Amino acid sequence: MNEKLVYSDIFKAAWKAMISQIWLLVGLLIGFTIIISLLILFAIPAKGETISISGILVLFISLLFGGLFFLGYLRNCLQTLDSEEPQFQAYGQVARRLFSFLISYIFFTVITSIGLALFIFPGVYLFLRLQFFFAAMVDEDAGPIASFKRSWAITKGQASQLFILMLIQLLLSFIGVITLCIGFFAAFPLITLLYGHTFRKLIAPVA
C-alpha cells in the first residue's frame, strides 16, 4: 500500500522550495509569458485578413516552445525540491522528449475530455490516475506508454487524496487569477512544486 499523503507536509515542502528559488522561478515564468504573448500576437491576423501560412507556423512554434518550457520548468522545480540550483541546461536535456510529450499530452487531453463527457466522474478519475505521466517523462526519462503505466501504478488507491490536492491546486489558481493575474506568477511555481513533490512522495518506497 502506498504511503498516505499528508497535505500539510506536501504544502510546506513546496512552499519552502518556492521561497528558496522564488526569483528564478517567477522570472522564468514572466519571461515565458512575454515571449509566448509576442509569438501569439504575431500569429493573430489583422482585421479583415485570414490567417496566413506564416501565422500557422508561428502558432506551431508557440506550441513547441510552450511544451519545451513546461518540461524544463518541471525539471527546474524538481531540482529545487532536491535543494539543487535550477539549471538552464534542463531545457536542452528535456528537448528530446518534446514530441513524445506533445503526443502524450494530446492523448491525455482527449481521453480525459471523453471521460468528462461521460458524466464527469470518469474524466476526473482518469485525470487523477494519469496526471503524473508528465513527471515520469521528466524525472525518470520514461517514454509515452511507460509514463502512463507509471502514473497509473503509483496512483493506485490514491484517487481520493489526489482529488483533495487537485482542489487545493485549483484554489491556488483561482486566487492567482482574481489578483489581476499577478498572483498567478507566484501560484504557478507553487502548484508545480506541489505536483512535483506529490510525485516524489508517490514513488518513494514505503518504510
Domain with 170, as residue range(s), is 7-203
For the segment 58-90, what is each residue's pLDDT rounded down to a tens digit? 778 888 999 999 999 999 999 999 999 999 999
Q: With helix as H, strand as E and coil as C, how does 67-92 read?
A: HHHHHHHHHHHHHHHCCCCCCCCHHH
Residue 96 maps to a domain = yes
| Per-residue confidence (pLDDT) for residue 1, from 0 to 100 | 46
For each of the chain's 207 residues, which pLDDT tens digit applies? 456 788 899 999 999 999 999 999 999 999 999 998 888 887 776 665 666 677 678 778 888 999 999 999 999 999 999 999 999 999 998 998 899 999 999 999 999 999 888 878 889 999 999 999 999 999 999 999 999 999 999 999 999 999 999 999 999 999 888 887 778 899 999 999 999 999 999 998 655
Query: Is residue 191 within 8 Å of 184, Cβ to Cβ?
Result: no
184 is a domain residue: yes
Q: At what angle do helices 133-140 and 98-117 cross, to 10 degrees?
A: 160
Terminal Cα-to-Cα distance of the chain (whole angstroms): 11
Identify whether 2 is part of a domain.
no
168 part of a folded domain: yes
Look at residue 60 in the predicted model and tell me its pLDDT: 84
* Within-domain flag for 46: yes
Residue 153 lies in a domain: yes
Q: Residue type for 21, please? A: Q
Q: What's phi and psi for 31, nearest 5 deg?
A: -60, -45
Q: Output the pLDDT for position 127.
A: 95
Q: Enter the DSSP assignment of 2.
A: P
- DSSP assignment of 29-69 equals HHHHHHHHHHHHHHHSPPTT-PPPHHHHHHHHHHHHHHHHH
C-alpha cell at 23: 526569483
Residue 1 included in any domain: no
The structural domain count of the chain equals 1
> Would you say residue 17 lies in a domain?
yes
